[in-house]
Amino acid sequence: MNWLIGCAAFLLGASYVNVQMANGEGRDQAITRFLVPTLFGISLLMLWEGVVRGLDVPGVILPAPSTIWETFKASTGILWQDFVQTFVKGALSGYLMGALAAFAVALLVDRSDFLRRGILPVGNFMAALPIIGIAPILVMWFGFDWQSKAAVVVVMVFFPILVNTVEGLRATDRMQRDLMHTYAASYWQSLFKLRLPAAMPFVFNGLKVATTLALIGAIVAEFFGSPIRGMGFRISTEVGRLALDMVWAEILVAAIAGSAFYGIVAMLESIVTFWHPSQRRRR
């Protein structure tokens, strides 16, 4: 009972502080913009902890955050092994292959107007389909190890990156292309000096969408068969054993890996497209 009262009091206090900060003088400062969501996140965790402890929720339904953290610390070895299997071998290699393939196809497609008008609608259509369903087929073709997961990731990330890159290569306007023409620039010169840089915001849009898809693809493909390591394998087997603290620890790893992956791609974007208005505004 004490836990319930305590967490309710913390929640009220944190909400009060947040309201004060959000409506107060320094609401536009960076530190406030960081503190308010952080405090909100902490109070949600406190609510979770308090409810689980206060109502004695059994661990097979919802483990407390502290229990999850203990499990996380105690099993870093297994978690690291799963991370390498699923993220580094499956998701990352598939992501790189898929991105390169999509980029190359986009450059080819861009050379012909006919191809572009044919492939863009098909690519857009494919990007909206539940491609994850192809996982059982690819597991059958490439075996249980990481190769089949990488193949699923390749197919999943291919279409968003392709569509975005093709769109991006059209992003230059007539005036800019005419200018390159007056310079007597060759196709490759105008590609490297004008059109690729102009396409980069679009390309990174696709790359960012694909980061999440890559992790999802690698994890879900393991539900269809995997060696005895990997995040998807661990999640499905530990759920079967009702060891939910381990499942949550694995989800924590997935969350960290997913946001770090996204963060790194977003950082690359801000380096490559420093000239773009959406990046300039932040300075």
Partner 1 sequence: MSDVSLPARSAGASAVVKATFEAIFPVVVVVAVIVGLWYAACVPMNIKASLTQAEREGAVIVPPEAKVRRDMSPIGLALANPEHTGTTFSQERPLLPAPHQVARELWNTTGDMVLQGKGFSKRSLLYHAWITLSATLLGFAIGTVAGILLAVGIVHSRVMNMSVMPWAIASQTIPILAIAPMIIVVLNSIGITGLLPKALISAYLSFFPVVVGMVKGLRSPDAMQLDLLRTYYASKSETFWKLRLPSSMPYFFTSMKIAMAASLVGAIVGELPTGAVRGLGARLLAGSYYGQTVQIWAALFAAAILAAALVGIIGILQRRTLKKLGMAH
Which positions lie near partner 1, rule CB under 8 A? 15, 18-19, 21-23, 27, 32-33, 36-37, 39-41, 60-62, 114-115, 117-119, 121-122, 125, 128-130, 132-137, 139-141, 211-212, 215-216, 219-220, 223-225, 231-232, 235-236, 239-240, 242, 244, 247-248, 250-251, 254-255, 258-259, 261-263
Nearer to partner 1, 180 or 233 (CB): 233
Least CB distance to partner 1 at residue 165 (A):
17
Least CB distance to partner 1 at residue 222 (A):
10
Nearer to partner 1, 195 or 234 (CB): 234
Least CB distance to partner 1 at residue 61 (A):
6
Nearer to partner 1, 180 or 232 (CB): 232
Nearer to partner 1, 81 or 176 (CB): 81
114/105 Cα distance (integer angstroms): 14
182/168 Cα distance (integer angstroms): 22
Query: What CA dihedral angle connects 2, 6, 12 and 13, to 10 degrees?
Result: 150
Least CB distance to partner 1 at residue 162 (A):
12
6 close to 51: Cβ distance less than 8 angstroms:
no
Least CB distance to partner 1 at residue 182 (A):
30
51/1 Cα distance (integer angstroms): 9
Least CB distance to partner 1 at residue 184 (A):
31
Question: Would you give the distance in Å from CA 279 to the centre of its chain?
Answer: 20
| DSSP string over 89-151 | IIIIHHHHHHHHHHHHHHHHHHT-HHHHHHHHHHHHHHHTS-GGGGHHHHHHHH-SSHHHHHH
Nearer to partner 1, 119 or 191 (CB): 119
Least CB distance to partner 1 at residue 89 (A):
16
b/e 252-271 (16+ beta carbons within 10 angstroms → b): bbbeebbeebbeebeeebee
Please enumerate in sequence order all residues whose Cβ is within 8 A of that of 236, keeping only pairs 6 or more positions apart, or say none. 222, 223
Nearer to partner 1, 240 or 277 (CB): 240
Burial of 244 (0-12, 13-18, 19+ CB in 10 A): buried
Backbone angles phi, psi at 75, to 5 degrees: -120, 40
Nearer to partner 1, 65 or 136 (CB): 136
Residue where the block lists tokens 């790189």? 96
